Chain A
Amino acid sequence: MTSSSAQFSSFRQAALALVLAFAGASWTPAAPPAPPIFNGAEGTFPQVTMTASLTEVQVAHPVTLTVRITAARPPQQPPQRPDFPKLARSKYPGSGRLAEFVKTFHIEPTRERQDGLTWEFDYRLHPRVAGTHTIPSWPFLYYRPDSNPKRVGTFQTTWVNEPDGLTIAVRPAPLEAPEPLFRIATGSAVLERQRQPGPASPFLVAAILLGPPLLCGGWYAAWRQLYPDAARRRQRRRSRAARKALQELCTRTSGSAAEEANRAARVVTNYLQDRLELPPGEPTPAEVGLHLQRLGVPEKLAGKAAEFFRSCDQLRFAPAVVPAEQSLSGIGADLIGALEAEPCLLSHL
């Protein structure tokens, strides 16, 4: 707004106020529209300064900027915290330099305090790049009411730290890192080409899953083809072992009880070794019972087998002590019959 038009506007408002005063009405002139960089303060602020806690700092290290606003008298509206990004976006002469400041520093508002007619606003600045950076002078725009309340006031500008602004030297940060990071690998290994792990091929997975059962199925079929009598021989061997043992046990012999016990134990042992893969040698009753249980024979039947061998041992080694109650050959034959009938052993060998 030019000075002549401002004066004309003031004359018009004064004339209007005079007419209304004669008419007995009271009127307060409206304030003019505020420019974009208006701070919001209403009063008289002759002094606005900014200072930095450090004028030399390292990159990313903070420095505190303090904006101090002093009023001549108690204001109608106190000053607000200056908004540097907003100021930089406003189109005033020199706003480009302030935009550079906003880009170079990360600005973080912190503390604000008031002491009488002085307001202080602190900012924590983090410089992003090294170099000598200047916070330029910027306008603090406030509204100064006229001494006559019937008159419109004016917007006044106080340029902060005019003309040089505030200079902060930012040193580059030293290059610090763990010592191993200052080393690199050398040699031909650096020029290798390795493939990133990717999903497995479904054909490979199918081959791994289906290959073994198919191959084993073919192997079994081939085995049956090559050895058709193997199953039959297995069956015959099973029944031959039992027949042979039963035949021997049923053969009457003249001998002492100890000799009969010895013969019965030997026959049953041969049967178990031939039919059920009992380990060679003379097993103890406990070993027989354990072996049968391992094959899946019920505990009761395995216990009977162990008891049979225990009885044989007693008669063999202490015949005068334990009288024979029942023919051990008969017990052995019964045992063989029970084992042959046991379902879990039907498919064995």
Chain B
Amino acid sequence: MLAVPLVMGWMLAAAAPPEQAILGQAETAFRQGVNQARDDPDAARRAFAAAAACYEELRQHGLANPRLLGNQGNACLLAGDLPHAVLAYRRGLRLAPRDPDLRRGLAHAEDLVYSPTSNLARPPEDSWPGWLPHPGAGACLALFAILYGGGWLVLTRWWMTRRAGGGSLAAGCFLAALLPAGLWLDEQAQVRDRRDHPLVIVARQDVWLRRGNGADFPLRLDTPLPAGAQARWLFGRGNWVQIQLPGGEVGWVPRHDLLVDIPSSAEASLAIQ
């Protein structure tokens, strides 16, 4: 009689999702870091690094949401790993562009990366007003479909009955549909741009930007790129990648000095000679 509940308990434990256990480890490590932050910064950084590793493992399991990525960004930033912190915040902001916690974290990380005396341009801030709700691509498409379809219905009914005002109402619906259509098209353009030119982040300190794909080529800038600097992937050739900085400067860096914001299996689809 005892065997049955024991076996069931074992089966339930075995079937418990590993993500929950990993999440527990991450939260424990993070709290440990918070407790040690004042008295032992080095130990706290190690604890935050352990928490960041757990969050990354969860992400590798296929989990992705603004909360998880925000936690990962905070853990990486407190561990002193600016490149991974910036990457995590950027991934989270793609899912939730208006999230204040993610924006705050990214702003702080960028403050640490880009010093006031640096001649490197920071990535431009989002120009969308903070007070204005930002509709997602799905909402824009749905609104367009409603207005566009409604316009056709009104137009057809007006054509049948020829009542006054029907034509104007149909025209108004079509005109109003242009706004969500424009927003949706802009969003699609950004998605394609992110797919073709993904975000890259300098993974190490003092990486030099060169004019060609080799260490023998002259330097493009007088100062090296700081760890955590953001850029866009333009072109890949062998072990070198051509990138474009937010200020417009174009140059080449070794591939192993970059964090790329796409799965490694998808890099083959990028422009590589």
Contact = CB atoms under 8 A, between A and B. Distances in A.
Given A184-B30, A191-B23, A197 B78 contact: no
Given A180-B101, A185-B71, A175 B41 contact: yes
B145 to A, nearest CB: 5
Interface in A177-234: 177-178, 180-187, 189-200, 204, 208-209, 211-213, 215-217, 219-220, 223, 230, 234
B197 interface: no
B215 interface: no
A334 interface: no
A130 to B, nearest CB: 7
Given A190-B65, A196-B64, A208-B141, A184 B71 contact: yes
Nearest to B62: A193
B23 A196 contact: no
Interface string A4-28: 0000000000000000000000000
Interface in A295-349: 295, 347-349
Contacts of B41: 172-175
Contact of B191 (A172, A198, A234): A198
B101 A220 contact: no
B23 A190 contact: yes
Given A181-B108, A190-B71, A191-B19, A197 B162 contact: no
A192 B63 contact: yes
Contact of B95 (A182, A196, A204, A213): A196
Nearest to A291: B164
A295 B104 contact: no
A243 interface: no
A215 B44 CA distance: 64
B118 interface: no
A196 B94 contact: yes
Contacts of B101: 180, 185
B105 interface: yes
Contacts of B68: 185, 190-192
B188 interface: yes
A194 B188 CA distance: 18
A185 B195 contact: no
B37 interface: yes
A236 interface: no
B251 interface: no
Interface string B104-128: 1100100000000000000000000
A208 B137 contact: no
Interface in B36-56: 37-38, 41-42, 44-45
A74 B57 CA distance: 66
A295 B164 contact: yes
A197 B63 contact: no
Interface in B1-49: 17, 19-20, 23, 27, 30, 34, 37-38, 41-42, 44-45
Contacts of B205: 128
B224 to A, nearest CB: 10
A177 B74 CA distance: 10
B87 to A, nearest CB: 14
A277 interface: yes
B132 interface: no
What's the interface size class on B, roughly?
Answer: 35 or more
Contacts of B188: 199-200
B148 interface: yes
A295 B184 CA distance: 36
A347 B160 contact: no
A175 B164 contact: no
B144 A208 contact: yes
Given A182-B37, A208-B148, A192 B44 contact: no
A295 B162 CA distance: 11
A177 B65 contact: no
A230 B160 CA distance: 9
A45 B63 CA distance: 67
A294 interface: yes
Contacts of B151: 212
B272 to A, nearest CB: 21
B249 to A, nearest CB: 22
A204 B23 CA distance: 37
Interface in A31-83: none
B71 A223 contact: no
Central interface residue in B45, B68, B105, B206, by most chain A CB within 10 Å:
B68
B67 interface: yes
B192 interface: yes
B228 to A, nearest CB: 14
Contacts of A215: 152
B118 to A, nearest CB: 14
B141 A200 contact: yes
Contacts of A204: 141
Nearest to A174: B41
Given A130-B42, A175-B78, 15 more contacts: A172-B41, A175-B38, A180-B104, A181-B104, A181-B108, A184-B70, A185-B67, A192-B65, A192-B67, A194-B66, A194-B95, A196-B94, A197-B137, A197-B187, A212-B149
14 contacts: A175-B44, A181-B74, A181-B105, A181-B108, A184-B70, A190-B67, A191-B58, A191-B63, A194-B64, A195-B64, A197-B95, A200-B141, A200-B184, A208-B149
